[in-house]
A and B are shown apart, each in its own frame.
Chain A
Amino acid sequence: MARLNLALLALLVVCALSLVTSRYQARKLFVDLEREQAQSRAYDVEYGQLQIEQSTWAMPARVEKIAREQLRMQLPAPARLRIVEAGPR
């Protein structure tokens, strides 16, 4: 009888300790998860800011200005346009 009790006691201690460690593990993982989620939110914010930046650079008015003034591009006059018809294949 005493032996059985002792075995049960040992089992209980092992269970209790494993509960403690698994709980600790769970919390540690949860902290990691939270950190990653915060990181993901930060990336979202950064993505939004980058989108703003990109669309500011890509504003048609700015693109047009650079094309006209720096790159000296212009629409060809109708006389210089040739329409190429797709021939029979």
Chain B
Amino acid sequence: MRFAHTFKTKAPAAPRLPRLRAPLVFGGLLLLFVGLLGRSLYLQRIDNGFLQEQGSSRYSRDIEVPAHRGRIVDRFGDPLAISTPVKAVWAWPDQVDATPDQLKALAAALDLPTTALKQKLAQGGDFVYLKKPVAPQAAAHIAALKIDGIHDENEYWRYYPGGEVMSQIVGFTGDRDVGQEGIELAQQSWLGGHPGSRRVIINRRGEIVEDVASIRAPQEGRDLALSIDSRLQYLAFRELKAAVEVNKARAGALVMLDAKTGEILALANWPAFNPNNRQRTTRDHMRNRALIDTFEPGSTLKPFTVAAALDAGKVSPQTIIDTAPGTLTIGHATIHDAHREGALTVEQVIQKSSNVGAAKIALSLPAETMWQMLSGAGFGAQPRTGFPGEVSGRLRAAKTWRPIEQATMAYGHGISVNLVQLARAYTVFASDGELKPVSLLKVDGAVAGRPVVTPQTARAVRHMLEMVVQPGGTAPKAQISGYRVAGKTGTAHKLDGRVYGDKYVSSFVGFAPVSNPRLIVAVMLDEPGAGQYYGGTVAAPVFADVMGGALRLLGVAPDAPANTVVVPADAVAVREET
């Protein structure tokens, strides 16, 4: 109390404050508050990006959502190309600091010799791939070694179980899993996946606890079913490869079509390459000759000449054509037959493959009629398989034809085709006159064709083609035990510069069983160099082996008694040229 009293008495003695001090201090403090408020408003509302980012980086992450490339499968769903995630291990050689033991462990995990690894690291620089692909388990092992300067990254590795058997059809992908050849290239947009990205909240242990937003939805690659039948493809490849090697040919190709739907069941090429290891692959090995190369078909075109004449009513199958003396001179050029024949029926012109006969039939027709037949059968236009680089071949407009050209075109010279076109054209005779569209992709259900010739004409030509493989024809070696077969040989001189030299393209196109055709097979061998070059000797046996095996594999009911194969003593009863 005393104290209080003392205080009280002292209080009046306190000095008087200057009049403005209180408002000034108050005002100053207020100003500071306003400044603070302004700053916080600025940070909260106007320039909030930096702090937001700093804040969210403490708990949110943008992570990539992987999307893989779609598989390519055959018509039964067996994989032809699959992507699987792998690691690519790379190094920053200048930064690598490893003990000899660590290097040894690294080399073992990479499955490389230690010396090779040291060599790679000795190059210096700031980036070198040590190995790709590396299996995920091995990569985890390497990461556990914790060597400075060794890193890995995620990649997809494309594996092709079919290997060289399917190589030219399926093609392959390059860096970043992008298609470079074949179907992989053609269907890139369908197969390719686009990785997405999403923002998530993670907790202290690094687990994702909440999805904040999807920044970009991943787009998975889609699977693609081809029309190829792996078993038939293997059969075709094996037989073709053997034939190319036995006949010492430069190359060969084989196409098998489903006669009902136009699907390409097999498409083999030799030489081929291994898509899983392309280190020694040249462009030449990658060529899908059946689609991107053309050749002059030779006699395999004769049935179309005859069909045009039958359709136009100019001849009947029994009309007699005089082919004596085996030559025909038009202007300055002379057409030869390999074998002298006398008077032949139209049927026999096909059976014995007479050039003179075919030329005479062609010359009885207006150029326009013949052009319509060839164009209607799909020559001179792309077969539209969707394969990159497929060619249309060459079929000139009828107006520009000279008589000699019309005559040579009758037996397949002065026109160029690819093998798929040729196989497809034979759907006209395998069906009742309809040209089917071809497809490399699986087709469900029936396929509508485009009528080219009348059913009567188609049946008449089918009968002629069956005569070709019978004794007296050019291709008795195309016979198959248990099945009726029809087809046509081709032995075309190759243009060597501007003149026809003594190099040949031997071919055979045919279908079976004749009573209800299921398959069409076209075989082509380029420059057989082992002495034999007739289509009936070189290509027809390949046809018979592939067709016979395929019909048995597919379980097609035989339409002829077994053991009816009659091959004349002379290997080819009738020779042909072109």
Contacts and interface: CB of A to CB of B under 8 A. Distances in A.
Interface in B226-278: 230-231, 234-235, 238
Contacts, number: 60
A83 B159 CA distance: 42
A2 interface: no
B207 A48 contact: no
Contact of A81 (B83, B163, B234, B562): B562
B558 A79 contact: no
B209 interface: yes
Contact of B85 (A45, A78, A79, A83): A45
Interface stretch (A3-11, A13-21, A27-35): A27-35
A39 interface: no
Contacts of B68: 48
A45 B207 CA distance: 21
A53 B118 CA distance: 33
A81 B83 CA distance: 44
Contacts of B163: 59
Contact of B84 (A49, A55, A83): A49
B208 A83 contact: no
Contacts of A49: 84
Contacts of B165: 60-61
A52 B83 CA distance: 9
Q: Is the interface of B mostly helix, strand, loop or mixed?
A: mixed
Interface in B183-218: 203, 207-211
Contacts of B471: none
B159 A27 contact: no
Contacts of B162: 59
Given A81-B482, A83-B558, A61 B78 contact: no
Given A78-B482, A83-B558, A52 B79 contact: yes
A51 B208 contact: no
A29 to B, nearest CB: 10
B161 interface: yes
B210 A30 contact: yes
Interface in A70-85: 78-79, 81, 83
Nearest to A38: B208
A41 B68 CA distance: 11
A39 to B, nearest CB: 14
Q: Interface size class for chain A?
A: 20 to 34
B207 A34 contact: yes
Contacts of B203: 27, 31
A78 B159 contact: no
A27 B210 contact: yes
Given A30-B208, A31-B207, A34-B207, A79 B563 contact: yes
B82 A83 contact: no
B84 A52 contact: yes
B482 A30 contact: no
Contact of B78 (A30, A48, A55): A55
A31 B482 contact: no
Contacts of B85: 45
Contacts of A22: none
A40 interface: no
B79 A55 contact: yes
A51 B209 contact: no
Contact of A78 (B136, B208, B231, B563): B563
Nearest to B201: A27
B230 A60 contact: yes
A78 B161 contact: no
A25 to B, nearest CB: 11
B60 interface: no
Nearest to B549: A75
Interface in B69-111: 78-79, 82-85
Contact of B82 (A31, A51, A78): A51
A3 to B, nearest CB: 39
Contacts of A79: 562-563
B82 A52 contact: yes
21 contacts: A31-B207, A31-B208, A31-B209, A34-B207, A41-B66, A45-B84, A45-B136, A48-B82, A51-B82, A52-B82, A55-B82, A58-B78, A60-B231, A60-B235, A78-B563, A78-B565, A79-B562, A79-B563, A83-B482, A83-B558, A83-B562
Among all A-B residue pairs, the 9 with the closest Cβ atoms: A55-B161, A60-B234, A78-B481, A27-B209, A34-B208, A48-B84, A31-B207, A78-B562, A52-B159
